[in-house]
Structure 1
Amino acid sequence: MDLSSILKPEAVKVISEASSKKRLFQRLGEIAEAAYSIDGLQAAEALLERESLGPTGVGHGIALPHARLLDASKVTGVFFKLERALDFKAVDRQPVDLVFALFAPENSGVEHLKALALISRTMRDPKVCAKLRANDNPTTLHTVLTEGLAPQAA
């Protein structure tokens, strides 16, 4: 599994205004609906429900909201770079400017966890995050995310 199988170019956006987590999740749902034909309202509500269990802000300005959806046919992602960082109640109390949302079928099981682990590894890479923060072109952002991590030396 690689990020190019999860993330379509049209699901990568630079967002200038996100006034709250709820509004951000609505925008994520709208883009998921446009890119993957997922019910956007259901996607936003599922993200909010998951967030109520605990914040998905993982630190270093990164959030990884995720949800399982009845109408999702495969694991998909939406990436937002926020022009203005948003309080996400992250573990390090830093505001979030990079958001990678993951949507998975209700019964995806291990596939969902593998995708979440891949996204987490990618977003923990300081070089990847530096490139993401240095660019505002969605096509470039998609390329940075999908070119994958450099192979690890054995």
Structure 2
Amino acid sequence: MMKFSDLLKPDAVKVMGSCSSKKRLMHDIADLAESVHGLHAQRVVEALLERESLGPTGVGHGVALPHARVSGLDEVLGVFMLLERPIDFDAVDRQPVDLVFSLFAPEEAGVEHLKALALVSRTLRDAGLCTKLRANRDPATLFTILTEFETVKAA
């Protein structure tokens, strides 16, 4: 079974003081993916924006799940950002977004990519979890909240 700890490393969690726009956020996500996972930032930005053009990944309740397939990857990887100031993300419920979990999958990833997306989506639909995340500004704590949540749910 896929776990959050398979997708996320402690240093792939970041708290952003302010972000001016959705496009700027995509660049911030790509920079983090480059520094943590060694992905090519410009390619990541292009892939994320291309995916967004198919339909916004703001899933509601302040949560966005931007994702893309990126060449050169051999596993699904993620980064998580907490935005101190929510931004407009063209979300389905028109609410601004402050919890952003971005997933990157190998170009030929089939079910793994979908499983990862389902896991993240299910986890971030939990209102209690989101409240906890929003109450913290420490990346290590946020990582723990995200990775321990599934253990509690599984028990």
Verify same fold: TM over 0.5: yes
Deviates most, 16-25 or 111-120: 16-25
Tell me the residue number matched to 2:87: 86
Tell me the residue number matched to 2:24: 23
Shift of 1:152: 5.9
Distance in 1 (alpha carbons) for counterparts of 2:84 and 2:73: 29
Q: If the length of structure 2 is used for normalisation, what is the TM-score?
A: 0.95
Distance in 1 (alpha carbons) for counterparts of 2:61 and 2:115: 22
Distance in 1 (alpha carbons) for counterparts of 2:116 and 2:30: 18
Shift of 1:73: 2.1
Tell me the residue number matched to 2:129: 128
Distance in 2 (alpha carbons) for counterparts of 1:111 and 1:120: 14
Kindly indicate whether the alpha-carbon contact (under 8 Å) linking 1:66 and 1:102 is maintained by their aligned counterparts in 2.
yes
Q: If the length of structure 1 is used for normalisation, what is the TM-score?
A: 0.96
Cα shift readout 1:60-109 (whole Å, capped 9, x = no counterpart): 00000000011222100010000110101111110000000000000011
Distance in 2 (alpha carbons) for counterparts of 1:106 and 1:56: 19
AA matched with 1:131: K
Kindly indicate whether the alpha-carbon contact (under 8 Å) linking 2:4 and 2:147 is maintained by their aligned counterparts in 1.
yes
Kindly indicate whether the alpha-carbon contact (under 8 Å) linking 1:75 and 1:103 is maintained by their aligned counterparts in 2.
yes
Identity of aligned residues (%): 61
AA matched with 2:149: G
How large is the Cα RMSD of the aligned pairs? 1.1
Distance in 1 (alpha carbons) for counterparts of 2:63 and 2:76: 20
Kindly indicate whether the alpha-carbon contact (under 8 Å) linking 2:129 and 2:149 is maintained by their aligned counterparts in 1.
no
AA matched with 1:151: K
Distance in 1 (alpha carbons) for counterparts of 2:73 and 2:64: 21
Q: SS in structure 1 opposite 2:149?
A: coil
Q: How do 1:64-75 and structure 2 match up within 5 A?
A: 64-75=65-76
- Out of 122, 147, 153, the position equivalent to 1:151 is 153
Distance in 1 (alpha carbons) for counterparts of 2:49 and 2:55: 10
